Structure 1
Amino acid sequence: MKIDFSKKWIQRMISLEGDFAVGAGINALDPTPDSFIEYKSGAGKSHLALSRFVQLMRREQGITIDRLAELADIETSELLNIEQNYQYAPEPRTVYQLANYFHVSRSRLMQISGLSSKRDTDLIYESVRFAASSNPLAKLTPEEREALDIFVKVLEDK
């Protein structure tokens, strides 16, 4: 079966759309919920904090990426992506496992990883502040240790 639309009919339909964006293909068939858009758009602000948090916690314990992956029961490649790619969106299971391993709030770690539509502005602020005050490659300085301790307290359940 072939469906033919006249040019006049198509132009009429376009005029009815007004200023709305018209999509075609899979995006038109499966619209993205608003909560998903919010979740994705705000995620980048705190990915750096997640990366730095994992790096500093691992370094504080004196373990390798491979050993942390083994202890937390997560994929080494996923952990590498978290630590080295600030735009990487980790799997929910990975964040859950890391929260359990580091004994911090799962919901708060989900927020700073961008996996939660819930947005605690104070947590995001503290995440950015923490990320800005740490160096992921050097030995933990007293200032970094203090910043890490404060951030762990922020991540713990209230």
Structure 2
Amino acid sequence: MASPAFSLEILRGCRERGIGTSIETSLYAKPETVDAFAETADQVIADIKLIDPARHKAATGVDNALILSNIERLASGGANLLLRVPLIPGYTDDDENITGIARFVASLERQIPVELLNFNPMCRDKYDAMREEYAFSPDQREISEQRVQELNQILESHGLTVIK
């Protein structure tokens, strides 16, 4: 959503040609921008990383109030919304965070599916390409399948639809 006018034109062009569209976003954007994308795209895929505002700000540099508000708006507005939780070892993969996210999503006006995305150690190449510091040890691995299942069970215990 960094270049909304340009991106919206591409989405509209795709729609006019019968091409299905989906956007993936953090939803850290003005509500009117989010609304424009939700009205134009067939699906909105949004990350929800950390539910606690202080932890979110410490990890990402921004407060999550705008993100959570935009999720609530899209849920109440009927957008085709999928929420994804990137599982980042030591940051987003604890029971407290997943339980908080589950409670938040369960409180929305309608059922929104949630998908846990396991950590991908291949992301290191992206950091190298962007000349950014890689914050994980070089041997960091995915979270175990058993642990991902445990976290999925937390979501399911709150009545959520979990995409596996």
TM above 0.5, yes or no, is: no
Q: TM-score, normalised by structure 2?
A: 0.23
Q: TM-score, normalised by structure 1?
A: 0.24
Q: Whose helix fraction is larger, Structure 1's or Structure 2's?
A: 1
Greater relative CO (CA pairs within 8 A, separation 6+): 1
- Larger Rg belongs to: 1
Q: Whose strand fraction is larger, Structure 1's or Structure 2's?
A: 2
